[in-house]
Amino acid sequence: MKKTIYHGSHHIIQMPVYHGGRPHNDYGYGFYCTESSEMAREWAVSEEHDGYANCYHLDMEGLRILNLNRDYSVLTWLAILIQNRTFNIDTPLAVEVSRYLRENFFVETAAYDIVIGYRADDSYFSFAQDFLSGAISFQQLQRAMYLGELGEQIVLVSPKAFSAIRFMGCEKALRSDWLQKKLQRDQKSRAEYLHSDRMRYRRGELYAVTILDQEIGPDDPRLFQQGGRS
């Protein structure tokens, strides 16, 4: 199976380099792509720079794929995020939940060629921090992940995956066209989150302290109800 994927960057990248990125991205070292050319344009621009949506064909045949959105709960995504990104973990509960998730929900991405999962932009990062601090439930976090419609990112994480892509060209992304759209997407997700009932305690839902106290594991069926595993 072949996919057309895009990578947003300040530069034209004809030959992506394995381990050429930053180690502290969502899933560690990797080449971060999307199936949406529009999303790639948003990712490509900043206040200082225009960018490019680099286009590639990816041959998925024979690649080992870790699909976090299909095969795991959002807590596995969060455990991987905690392992790779810098979090503001400043309460005893958040410290303990972070440890528990790493020990019980973490999946080693190095065993795969491709990782498919959420992209932790600034707003999604704040949702995750609220869960770790006990401010929102697991179910509220799960619903929040669909705000802003960021979609999935496809991340190449092995030499085999890098050898399976072919550069098809690029499209210019002007910050005058795409920066505002990028900011509006983040603002939209934050506004929807703030206007939700996030500050109301939801009886019967799973909070961080409940997951700790009940020692809930990655296969607990409650983690896959109401839009969990597909």
What's the pLDDT tens digit per position in 19-31? 877 777 888 889 9
pLDDT at 149: 58
Residue 129 CB-density burial (10 A; 0-12 exposed, 13-18 middle, 19+ buried): middle
The amino acid present at 151, given as its one-letter code, is G
pLDDT at 207: 95
- Asked which of 3-12, 104-113, 141-150 is least confident by mean pLDDT, the reply is 141-150
What percent of the chain lies above the pLDDT cut of 70? 88
pLDDT at 76: 95
pLDDT at 183: 84
| Token pair in block for residue 95 | 């410290």
| Token pair in block for residue 74 | 């959002």
Average pLDDT of the chain to the nearest whole number? 87
Q: Is residue 230 pLDDT above 50, yes or no?
A: no
- Please list the residues that pair with 8 across neighbouring strands: 53
Average of per-residue pLDDT across 115-129: 79
Q: Is residue 228 pLDDT above 50, yes or no?
A: no
Q: How is residue 134 annotated by DSSP?
A: T
- Selected residue with higher pLDDT from 90 and 7: 7
- DSSP code per residue over 70-86: HHS-HHHHHHHHHHHS-
Q: Is residue 65 pLDDT above 80, yes or no?
A: yes
- Selected residue with higher pLDDT from 219 and 1: 219
Q: Are 212 and 100 in contact (CB under 8 A)?
A: yes
Q: Are 80 and 27 in contact (CB under 8 A)?
A: yes
Tens of pLDDT, residue by residue over 140-197, are 888 877 655 566 899 999 999 999 999 999 999 999 999 998 888 777 776 766 666 5
C-alpha 16/C-alpha 35 separation (Å) is 17
Run of H or E including 176: helix 175-194
Q: Are strands 165-173 and 51-59 parallel, antiparallel or unpaired?
A: antiparallel
